[in-house]
Every structure is written in structure tokens, then in C-alpha cells.
Amino acid sequence: MSSAKDLTLSSCTLSPVTPPSSHTNQSDVRRQVLDAAIDIITSDGVEHVSMREVARRAGISHQAPYHYFGDRAGIFAAISEEGFLGLSDALHRADSSSTNAARDGLRAYLTFAMSHRGHFRVMFRNDICGISSHESTLLAADQAFNALLSVVNRVVDGELNEGDTMVWATTLWSIAHGLATLVIDGPLMPRLAKQPGMDDTDVFLESVLDQFDTMVKQQARTLFTT
């Protein structure tokens, strides 16, 4: 079994949403706005993000966030875009370097969510994520989903029609996202803290990954033997 410390990796690094500007100061201010908003979401929640509070946390003028993003929706869309690109990269790296696609794909998803809670809390909320209003965010979301489909192809290791591929992708996504949500914002961690012998949550989560891997492999084997 892989080391439990793998689940607390901070190696899922996210690149800026836009290429570096020739005006370094402008690029830095844009980054400061995003980082301040992400910090607020991580510590206090999405509902506490305001243009004024973002500016205060970033130590910049109150008008700067408006200049770079227009409004809160623009900030959320940029955070989502950045998050989807980061998740896509994490899944691709797990897929390309793994001999156990299901387990490592789930670990990559969970590790990303735990390491980037601010992004994760925005990018899957249809009311604020910006997919419907910002084309670049939608493209990044599609890129992340395509990375998931690549994991599915490795897991199944056989020919699937389009409908079955979507079923598998939705199933794996639901499990990964459900576990990540339970860990970050759900009742799982407080409940574990009350259970005798559950003081090492990393070991517990590794056991969950093992169980998930076993179930997925069993189901995948039945596809081409029935």
C-alpha cells in the first residue's frame, strides 16, 4: 500500500490563469487579487468574498479588483478556470505515471481538493463557477473532464461505447467528488475524530482508496467476461 502521507501532498501546483504579462506589476496585482479571494474562500467561505474585502486582504486599492475582473463573477470564473486546469494536470499526471489508474486517479482528485480547497469550493458550483458565462472557464472544465475520460479508458482497458464511457466517468467522478466533499466540508472528519482507533485519518483514507480500487477492478473485469 502506498504511504499515507501521499494524501497530504502539496505538489498540485496551479499555474496562473493567464500567461505572464510584460507588465510584471499588473500581473502581480492580478495574482494578488486571486490569492486574496482564494484565501477568503478557504478560511471563511464563498459568501464572505466581496470586492472590498479582497482588496483589503491583498493590500491594494479598492478599485483594483474591478479593474482586473469586473466583479465577483469574474473573480470566481478565474478561480474556477485555474482550478479546472490544475485538476486536469493532476489527473493527467496520475494517468500517465500510474499502473493503477483507478486508485491513483481517485488519490489525485482527493489530493487536489484537499490542497486547493478555495478552488474546489467554487469550481463545481453552477451558480458562481462561471462555466456558462466565461468561455475560457468552460474550456478548462472540458479539459478536466477529458482527463477523467482518459482515466476511465485506463481503468476499463477495453472498448466502450459512448454511453458506457459516460456511465463509468460519472460513477468514478461521483465517488471521487463525494469523498472529497465529505473530507473538506462534510461530517466525515469530525465523525472520525470521535471513533476509537481512527486518529490517523491518512491511513483511513488509504483504506478507502483500497476498497474503491477493489470494487472498480471487479466491475471492470465483468464488462468483457459476460
- pLDDT band, very low/low/confident/very high, at 34 (cuts 50, 70, 90): very high
Residue 4 predicted with pLDDT over 90 = no
Residue 8 lies in a domain: no
- The lowest-confidence range among 5-14, 26-35, 70-79, 191-200 is 5-14
126 and 39 fall within a common domain: no
Residue 13 lies in a domain: no
Alpha carbon distance 69, 75 (integer Å): 6
106 and 31 fall within a common domain: no
119 and 82 fall within a common domain: yes
98 and 177 fall within a common domain: yes
- pLDDT band, very low/low/confident/very high, at 220 (cuts 50, 70, 90): confident
pLDDT digits (tens, 9 = 90+) for 151-209: 998 888 767 888 999 999 999 999 999 999 999 999 998 888 888 877 788 888 999 99
57 and 140 fall within a common domain: no
149 and 99 fall within a common domain: yes
Residue 130 lies in a domain: yes
- pLDDT band, very low/low/confident/very high, at 226 (cuts 50, 70, 90): low
Residue/partner pairs of 70-74 with CB below 8 Å, 24 or more apart = 72/128, 73/128, 73/130, 73/133, 74/130, 74/134
Range of the domain at 54: 18-70
Termini Cα distance of the chain:
30
pTM score over 0.75: yes
CB under 8 Å to 101, separation ≥6 — which residues?
Answer: 94, 95, 151, 154, 155
Of residues 2 and 119, the one with the higher pLDDT is 119
70, 85, 113: which is the final residue of a domain?
70
Residue 219 predicted with pLDDT over 90 = no
Residue 143 lies in a domain: yes
133 and 111 fall within a common domain: yes
Q: Give the CATH number, domain containing residue 51.
A: 1.10.10.60
58 and 150 fall within a common domain: no
Of residues 17 and 45, the one with the higher pLDDT is 45
- pLDDT band, very low/low/confident/very high, at 20 (cuts 50, 70, 90): very low
54 and 103 fall within a common domain: no
